[in-house]
Chain A
Amino acid sequence: MSLELMAFFGAILVTITACLMLIIDDWRLNVSLLAIQYVGVFALILQVWPLAMSISHMVAGWIAGAVLGMAILSLPQPVGEIKDIEQSEPSTGRLARRLRLGSDRAPNVIFLLISIFLVALAVFSQTPRVSGWIPGLSLTQTWGGLILIGIALLHLGFYSQALRVTIGLLSLFSGFLILYSAINITTLAAALSATIALGLALSGAYLTLAPSMEPG
């Protein structure tokens, strides 16, 4: 498969995963989508970065997802609460009700879809211009980077839970990294970007687990 075709599929992958992560309320699906999103990011930065550096970012993203998942699993949950969630009515969407993060104030799906549409419209109109600013950055890479930034900003604006914020920040950073990768091809940049992804995941995991930790 040529690199251009990979980038095209990568752009589609990051667009779909970013949109789904904004809408879906199930933490397991969100973490899985984050891992898939990093495959898309890998395909996009592979256009300019060497394979080893691109893989390191993808693996860091996967580890970040695993850290977040383990943090949620480590949360002490009262038995009764789990039972309530599992036995909830399927009419409101069994999958969404099961193990949801309790974001009762999450915006309506229609509203989210309209927001995504508006962001996509803005990104579509600005992609050629931004692509012109950075030589070596293809249209697919620019689209992928900007759509990730746009939807991550929606994520950060709509939700305040630690896990949601962390996922939003990881997407935001990946979006900027796609744009930035065309310029900076140093190993330190790759190492620091992987460290930031892991650091974000650890911060998110800490914020999730802090209330249940021993004080002091």
Chain B
Amino acid sequence: MSAFTLWVLIPGVLALSIYSLRRWEKTIHFTGIIFALLLAWLAWQLPIGEPISLRLWSGFPIYTIEPAQSIYGNRFIFNNSTQPVIILLYVCAAFWIGGAIPARTHRLFTPLCLMITALLTAALAADAVSSSAMLLALASMVSVPLLSAPGRPAARGVTRFLIFQLAGVCLILLADALFSIATRPGGEGQSDLVPSILSLALGFAMILAVTPFHTWLPMLAEEVNPYPAGFIFFLLPNTVGLIALEVLSRYSLVGLPPSTFTAVQYAGVLMTLAGGFGAAFDRHLGRLLGFAAVTQIGMTLLAISLNDQPVRTTEQIGIYFSLLAPQAIGLAIWSLALSIFKHYHPELSFSAIRGAAYRLPIAGLTMVMANFSLAGLPLLASFPVNVALWSTLSQRSLTIAWLSLVGCSGVLIAGLRSLSALVTSPDEAHWHISETRVQVVLLLAGAGLLLFTGLFPQLYMPQLTNLAIIFTSPSP
């Protein structure tokens, strides 16, 4: 069996199969969680390209998971350095599917979630940039029904999301074509690279929602159920970030100037500032989530920009991987709490949710905690990683570090304003828990996780840094 079959085809087929079970909502969700965790566990346990002896009974054949799969002339390569990313992707999918029932997502959420994860895994494994880009386009198309629930009018944010994703993919395809021409033997060299670099930068900027192409994020968070939106805000940019890292490393070897990483740094700080300012001045809880996601993508880009060597591995890549866990927890808890608010208050503007915390205290508490965590408040999940990022950035450019801090302060201000709106009731109000038991358990577990990861970063950061080292090391 090939790794491609195990981590792409089987989840894809399963996603289609469990769609037929959509009448039994809980069955779908539990199947999805178990299957995603199983795939993550297999990625952790099974060595790729080495004989595996299961010994279920005597004479049981020895299996080897083939690392490469060729489809129509293009290769999809999985090796031991890809495994950490597969683990992260499927753990993340399981984590998000776990909260789907309390978040009241629609029944297509689990199959679509698995399908998107399978497509993104294939995009990461594709040898050719063009195939990766086209698979990203397919993943964004599968995201459309995930974001736009049946029975509701199509949100403008969804169409805008689709436009930016497809336009970005087209530009990456063009950049890939231009790169392959410019680096052909006998080409004119560096001068030919300018259009390809511009096209590549613009393509990734559109897909990663780099300012000024970030408008779809707040629109989407405002119009659709925040929970699937949070899933897309986390998974898509981070997978594209990994592909971008791979593409930048690959093109650095054929003449991409090191100043490209400086451009990534500027884009990152611009996004952090744009997200921070947007969050600080907005008056809609949904849009705040969108702006916070913009800030987080900015932080991700800043972390990527630290890896400014033409070769793949630098020590700072660990920071990028360490950012993933707090971001995932923060965005998942925030979007879950917000989806609970949206159920009771379909309009999430500050005026509409005034005093809502009295009715939904657990959701209010965890939402504000997640907000503060993503802003980098001490004792919460993102703080240790953000400090590591800021201190590394300050060694290179103090201005960039300060500006990203200012951006994060905007998210902090947004949290304080949300808190103020949630607890300011026009009438005399009494505390009353309206959340369901499952919601309370999940929200409190999430809040505990935010505190735990903030207080004991030494328990997960070395592991994530190790994963980063494995990912960035050449495969054996």
Asked if A211 and B153 make an inter-chain contact with CB atoms under 8 angstroms apart, the answer reads yes
Asked if A169 and B162 make an inter-chain contact with CB atoms under 8 angstroms apart, the answer reads yes
- Selected interface stretch from A8-16, A81-89, A103-111, A186-194: A186-194
Asked if A133 and B131 make an inter-chain contact with CB atoms under 8 angstroms apart, the answer reads no
A175 CB to nearest B CB, Å: 8
Is there a chain A Cβ closer than 8 Å to B156's Cβ? Answer: yes
Q: List CB contacts (< 8 Å) of B154-198 with chain A.
A: 154, 156, 158-159, 162-163, 166-167, 170-171, 173-174, 176-178, 180-181, 192, 195
Asked if A183 and B71 make an inter-chain contact with CB atoms under 8 angstroms apart, the answer reads no
* Chain A interface SS verdict (over half): helix
A179 to B, closest residue via Cβ: B174
Asked if A207 and B154 make an inter-chain contact with CB atoms under 8 angstroms apart, the answer reads yes
Interface size class of B (residues with CB under 8 A): 35 or more
Contacts of A112 in B (CB 8 A): none
In the assembled complex, the Cα of A169 lies from the Cα of B137 at a distance in Å of: 12
Contacts of A187 in B (CB 8 A): 72-73
Is there a chain B Cβ closer than 8 Å to A124's Cβ? Answer: no
Contacts of B192 in A (CB 8 A): 133
A191 to B, closest residue via Cβ: B72
Asked if B73 and A186 make an inter-chain contact with CB atoms under 8 angstroms apart, the answer reads yes
Contacts of B171 in A (CB 8 A): 176
Contacts of A196 in B (CB 8 A): 134, 137-138, 141, 166
Contacts of B312 in A (CB 8 A): none
Given A203-B141, A206-B145: A176 in contact with B174 (beta carbons within 8 A): yes
Contacts of A180 in B (CB 8 A): 130, 173-174, 177
B138 to A, closest residue via Cβ: A199
In the assembled complex, the Cα of A164 lies from the Cα of B3 at a distance in Å of: 40
Given A133-B195, A199-B141: A165 in contact with B131 (beta carbons within 8 A): no
Contacts of B167 in A (CB 8 A): 172
Is there a chain A Cβ closer than 8 Å to B439's Cβ? Answer: no
A165 to B, closest residue via Cβ: B159
A50 CB to nearest B CB, Å: 13
B9 CB to nearest A CB, Å: 15
A207 CB to nearest B CB, Å: 4
Is there a chain B Cβ closer than 8 Å to A121's Cβ? Answer: no
Asked if B150 and A172 make an inter-chain contact with CB atoms under 8 angstroms apart, the answer reads no
Contacts of A183 in B (CB 8 A): 176-177, 180-181
Partner of B71, one of A133, A182, A188, A210: A188
Asked if B154 and A133 make an inter-chain contact with CB atoms under 8 angstroms apart, the answer reads no
Asked if A206 and B162 make an inter-chain contact with CB atoms under 8 angstroms apart, the answer reads no
Q: List CB contacts (< 8 Å) of A103-137 with chain B.
A: 133-135
Given A173-B170, A179-B174, A189-B130: A200 in contact with B141 (beta carbons within 8 A): yes
B135 CB to nearest A CB, Å: 7
A208 to B, closest residue via Cβ: B154
Is there a chain B Cβ closer than 8 Å to A162's Cβ? Answer: yes
In the assembled complex, the Cα of A211 lies from the Cα of B158 at a distance in Å of: 14
1/0 contact trace for A148-187 toward B, CB 8 Å?
A: 0000000010001010010011001101100110111011
Asked if A210 and B72 make an inter-chain contact with CB atoms under 8 angstroms apart, the answer reads no
Is there a chain B Cβ closer than 8 Å to A1's Cβ? Answer: no
In the assembled complex, the Cα of A133 lies from the Cα of B154 at a distance in Å of: 40
Partner of B178, one of A133, A160, A188, A210: A133
Asked if B170 and A206 make an inter-chain contact with CB atoms under 8 angstroms apart, the answer reads no
Given A186-B72, A203-B141: A213 in contact with B181 (beta carbons within 8 A): no
Contacts of B131 in A (CB 8 A): 188-189, 192
Asked if B163 and A165 make an inter-chain contact with CB atoms under 8 angstroms apart, the answer reads yes
Contacts of A193 in B (CB 8 A): 134
Asked if A203 and B144 make an inter-chain contact with CB atoms under 8 angstroms apart, the answer reads yes
Asked if A214 and B151 make an inter-chain contact with CB atoms under 8 angstroms apart, the answer reads yes
Is there a chain A Cβ closer than 8 Å to B107's Cβ? Answer: yes
Is there a chain A Cβ closer than 8 Å to B399's Cβ? Answer: no
Contacts of A211 in B (CB 8 A): 151-154
A64 CB to nearest B CB, Å: 12
5 pairs from A and B in contact (CB 8 Å cutoff):
A179-B174, A199-B138, A203-B144, A203-B145, A210-B145
Given contacts A134-B178, A169-B162, A199-B138, 14 further A-B contacts (CB under 8 A): A160-B159, A162-B154, A169-B163, A172-B166, A183-B176, A187-B73, A188-B71, A189-B130, A189-B131, A191-B72, A195-B138, A200-B166, A210-B150, A214-B151
Instruction: Please give the residue numbers on chain B whose beta carbons come within 8 Å of chain A beta carbons, in ascending order.
Output: 71-74, 106-107, 128, 130-131, 134-135, 137-138, 141-142, 144-145, 148-154, 156, 158-159, 162-163, 166-167, 170-171, 173-174, 176-178, 180-181, 192, 195
CB-based closest 5 A-B pairs: A215-B151, A183-B177, A188-B72, A213-B150, A176-B170
